[in-house]
Chain A
Amino acid sequence: MDADVCIVGAGAAGGIMALELARRGVTVVVLESGPRHDFRQRWQYVREYVRRKNPWESRLPRQDNATFGGRVAYSLEGRRARGVGGSTLHWEGYALRFHVDDFQLQTLYGIAEDWPIRYADLEPYYARAESALGVAGTDDDPWAAPRSAPFPLPGFPFSHSDGAFAQACGKLGIAMHRLPQARNSVAYGGRAPCQACGTCHVCPTGAKATIDLTHIPAAEATGKVRVVTEATVLRLETDPAGTVTRAVYAHADRTERPLSARIFVLGAGGVENARLLLLSKSPRFPDGLANRSGLVGKRFMAQPSIDVIGRMAHNVYPYRVGFSTAMSQQFAAPRDRATRAAFYLEFLNSAGPKPDELAVSSGRTGDDLRQYVRDEFGKWLGIRIYCEHLPDPSNAVSLSARALDYFGNPGPHVVYRLGRYEQNALDEGKRVATKVLEAAGGTRLRVTSLSPAAHQIGTHRMGTDPKTSVVDPDLKAHDVDNLYLVGSGCFVTATASPPTLTIAALALRAAERIAARVAPAS
């Protein structure tokens, strides 16, 4: 055996599990398809980012080849990152717990299905995840789920433009509160406090929690964890009894290399986890590994969002910080969700055109251009409506018939559509945001086009019944005793909250279970 546990993917789920397992005496090899992005290069990445290049772009050609179906093209470009740290390298850092109701949509509202676990089961792990990532927050959300511990870091103060929103929301009876985030409001975990660089997609200071900083170094320092980078797993192989015996991976030279372990964990994201299972067909698993339910890849979810923006008479000073500081959960938690999705309002600190966008679209040059940009910049306020997405069997990740990746394997085919449930909520959200912006004095209101979130959810859902789910509540595959599938693919429903904190909490929980199996004495 090369290790007790082989983890595929060094992102939020895989990286957290690697450290947790190592601390419990388990040896781990992590196979990561991307590189180790040297932190010292972050400023170069920032320069690329502000020039609208994606510094996290996959390095091998065709590595992310994919095809799309459905009414909304769900492009993977920019919606995930390969590398040590995974998509936390470019996440927004919003670290929200789910609500109590989120785990019981069927029981409470007669829609979708309940999770096999409850909020109370996850609460201790939420607290640990917040501590590990360093979540800054304030206990001012009237609808927040119960907490056993305070936020580890003080919340970020409201922005100047939040003041305009607060006044408007006050008039309309909408409660505005802080947005919890895994970003250092003060120095924490050996990382610097945020310095408002405005490029959270690439955090050059390390203030934003990214797994390459928060977990991987500590995991490797235990001596129990080895991270193999630029190692793309091509398939998992099983013995006749249906036990996974090895992961077959390759570097850029395409030479196949085997890695054996007692237990395998897929933490490569909702799309790649599903694709890898479907690529790992065998006589025993003709429809793909762990897919006797036929649900691998099915019920793909990604929360849709739209922005409503309005022009103010005065400068609101946007683009001085890269994240939002205020939100309202008023339309997410205390709500009858039988016919309308939950959504939250995110009060944006950056909206409207930037100077270059104004300049390019103006058609002006010289002094006339300069004066125009000076007069027009900074006048726009925006509100994002971030909406729950229900599981729908027609939304799915499958193997593409047309797109091949760098290694010659079929890429993912992603089908994404929204239904009436989501559209009702988006329409309501537009109306609410319009009222808020008008109450703030906004004019020339506009709605941006719909943007599905960079969260890939639901493709190997958890449950207690092997016929209707892929993994059990411990995230172990029903069909394969030594295979665990972690990350947001295991979510039963998407909720209106970003998934990362829940991914982290579930990863901690699953690591405990695995460690108890592998090293019961430790």
Chain B
Amino acid sequence: MTRRRWLQELLSLPWVIALWTRRLIAGSRAASIGLMLAPAPATASDSPVADFEALVAFAEVLVDSRLFSPDTRRDLTEHLADSASVDPDRRARYVTTTRLLDRLAGARFSQLPLGERAALMARHRLNVRLLTAEESAGAISDDARAVRTQVLPDLIGACWRSPAGWSAVGYGAFPGRCSDLTRYTRPEP
């Protein structure tokens, strides 16, 4: 990846956000209205997202429908820690997401089995990225909206940027992992 490509990506981020916003606004009207969430009660998970466990557990359902490998967990956790350290807004959204998930679960979301997590997310439409017209008009809590419109694409993007994401498209080497120089001259096996 070159400087120009990097610059283009940097400059295209607003376009991605704009596209995403349009998709959200144009979301399916047939879908049901999401749960209106009450203000969060104080729970044990009000502590900061120090270990990002809930977010990783959330991403496992979103991205893979299976448990992450230790390497993928590490890559995602690094992304979350890095993002939270430089972007206070993003950090606040991570806290909001963790609290929301734990509250809906009535326990630590990260400690639920994968199937229960998936069911909970489906029940509350937290695995659906597009908002319905009703949701766009306000029939959804601010917290749920932030999770679905901002945290969800953040987690998906981070996972697909990681080695696991490249591996899923058949690449053992990718931008950031060196390989045999002649590999680029032939198709992948």
Report whether B4 and A454 are in contact in the complex, using a CB–CB cutoff of 8 Å: yes
Report whether A355 and B16 are in contact in the complex, using a CB–CB cutoff of 8 Å: no
Partner of A448, one of B8, B13, B64, B174: B8
* A133 CB within 8 Å of chain B: no
Q: Interface code A214-238, partner B: CB below 8 Å = 1, 0 otherwise?
A: 0000000000000000000000000
* A11 CB within 8 Å of chain B: no
Report whether A198 and B165 are in contact in the complex, using a CB–CB cutoff of 8 Å: no
Q: Which residues of A contact B157 (CB under 8 A)?
A: 356-357, 359-360
Report whether B153 and A360 are in contact in the complex, using a CB–CB cutoff of 8 Å: yes
Stretch at the interface among A45-53, A170-178, A239-247: A45-53
Tell me if A's interface is mostly helix, strand, loop or mixed.
loop
- Bound Cα distance A90, B1 (Å): 11
* B68 CB within 8 Å of chain A: no
Given the known interface contacts A349-B184, A451-B11, the answer about A365 and B156 at a Cβ–Cβ threshold of 8 Å is: yes
- Bound Cα distance A307, B12 (Å): 13
Q: How far is the CB of A487 from chain B (nearest CB, A)?
A: 17
Report whether B8 and A359 are in contact in the complex, using a CB–CB cutoff of 8 Å: no
Partner of B178, one of A77, A195, A365: A195
Report whether B171 and A320 are in contact in the complex, using a CB–CB cutoff of 8 Å: yes
Given the known interface contacts A201-B6, A366-B127, A448-B8, the answer about A160 and B168 at a Cβ–Cβ threshold of 8 Å is: no
Partner of A197, one of B7, B127, B160, B175: B175
- Bound Cα distance A185, B185 (Å): 13
* B61 CB within 8 Å of chain A: yes
Partner of A321, one of B20, B184, B188: B184
- Bound Cα distance A160, B183 (Å): 9
* B32 CB within 8 Å of chain A: no
Report whether B169 and A378 are in contact in the complex, using a CB–CB cutoff of 8 Å: yes
Q: How far is the CB of B131 from chain A (nearest CB, A)?
A: 11
Partner of A204, one of B9, B11, B161, B178: B178
8 Å CB interface, B41-62 against A: 61-62
Report whether B7 and A454 are in contact in the complex, using a CB–CB cutoff of 8 Å: yes
* A104 CB within 8 Å of chain B: no
Report whether B180 and A377 are in contact in the complex, using a CB–CB cutoff of 8 Å: no
- Bound Cα distance A319, B184 (Å): 9
- Bound Cα distance A350, B3 (Å): 12
Q: Interface code B55-87, partner A: CB below 8 Å = 1, 0 otherwise?
A: 000000111110000000000001100100000
Partner of A92, one of B4, B161, B169: B4
Residues of B within 8 A of A (CB): 1-11, 13, 16, 19-20, 23, 61-65, 78-79, 82, 127-130, 152-153, 156-161, 165-166, 168-171, 173-188
If A199-B175, A321-B184, A374-B169 are given as contacts, then 16 extra A-B residue pairs at C-beta distance below 8 Å, sorted by A number, are A90-B3, A194-B181, A195-B181, A196-B180, A196-B184, A198-B173, A199-B1, A200-B3, A319-B1, A321-B183, A355-B165, A355-B169, A356-B159, A360-B156, A373-B169, A449-B11
Residues of A within 8 A of B (CB): 46-47, 49-52, 54, 77-79, 90-92, 157-160, 185, 193-201, 204-205, 305, 307, 315, 317, 319-325, 349-350, 354-361, 363-367, 369-370, 373-374, 377-378, 384, 448-449, 451, 453-454
